[in-house]
Amino acid sequence: MKHDRLRRLALPLLTFLVSVVLLGIAIVSLVDFRREEPVTSSVGGPFTLTSQDGRTVTEKDLRGAPFLVFFGFTHCPDVCPTTLFEASELLRAAGSQGDKLRILFVTVDPERDTPEVMKSYLSAFDPRIIGLSGSPEAIAAIVKSYKVYARKVPTSDGYTMDHTAMVYLMDAKGRFVNGFDLKRAPDVAAKDLLSYL
């Protein structure tokens, strides 16, 4: 009789213990364990391009401070000038604290966007914005490493470019952090970017 009662208790007890173990496993798998180092990302990488001033710029030149990367082209009718204006406003809001910050504007249209064209175009924006161009092969390589969509679209008077409009946030070691929202108030966006210094 005692054995029957133990047997009847054993099954619910065993079921309870298995449930506790499974719940523990589920909780552990859902917990976001913060790492000291960000997870290595496959976005970004080495590049060698030319600035609007004719200087050679590589990813190594940007180490030591966070930077933003935006891909576009000088014949862009709306998205690119709007984004560059927002980037300029962020840098203005950052003031002297933002002297180390850099924003890269990388062309997806190397046929038309020579360093001279980029210099003229970017003269309307903050001087901390670096325009980068290069050979079609060099541009294709950075477009691929940042996983950017860019495609030439024929028009009645030539062509335009479809392209990714995301702004990439890279940390001080040149590693991809996330997309960066420039649509916020400039002081809010500046404070966010400065927090990565």
Residue 88, CA distances (Å) to 23, 153, 165 in order: 50, 28, 16
Return the axis-axis angle of helices 79-94 and 186-194, rounded to nearest 10°. Answer: 70
147: left (phi over 0), alpha (psi -120 to 50) or beta: left
Question: 68-114: per-residue pLDDT in tens?
Answer: 999 999 999 999 999 999 999 999 999 999 999 999 999 999 999 99
Question: 21-69: per-residue pLDDT in tens?
Answer: 333 443 334 333 333 444 446 899 999 999 999 999 999 999 999 999 9
Contact 105, 131 (CB under 8 A): yes
Question: 11-22: per-residue pLDDT in tens?
Answer: 444 444 434 333
Check residue 34 and give its pLDDT: 35
Instruction: For residues 170 and 94, give the distance between their C-alpha atoms in angstroms, rounded to a whole number.
Output: 17
Question: 156-165: per-residue pLDDT in tens?
Answer: 999 999 999 9
pLDDT confidence band for 151 (50 / 70 / 90): very high
Q: Is 26 annotated as a binding residue?
A: no
Check residue 30 and give its pLDDT: 37
Read off the pLDDT of each residue in 148-160 and give the average, rounded to a whole number: 96
Contact 151, 161 (CB under 8 A): yes
Q: Is 82 annotated as a binding residue?
A: no
Q: Which amino acid is at 18?
A: V
Does 153 score more than 80 pLDDT?
yes
Tell me what percent of the residues of the chain surpass a pLDDT of 90.
79
Parallel, antiparallel, or unpaired: how do β-strands 102-107 and 129-133 relate? parallel
Q: Is 163 annotated as a binding residue?
A: yes
Parallel, antiparallel, or unpaired: how do β-strands 176-179 and 48-51 relate? unpaired
Check residue 5 and give its pLDDT: 53
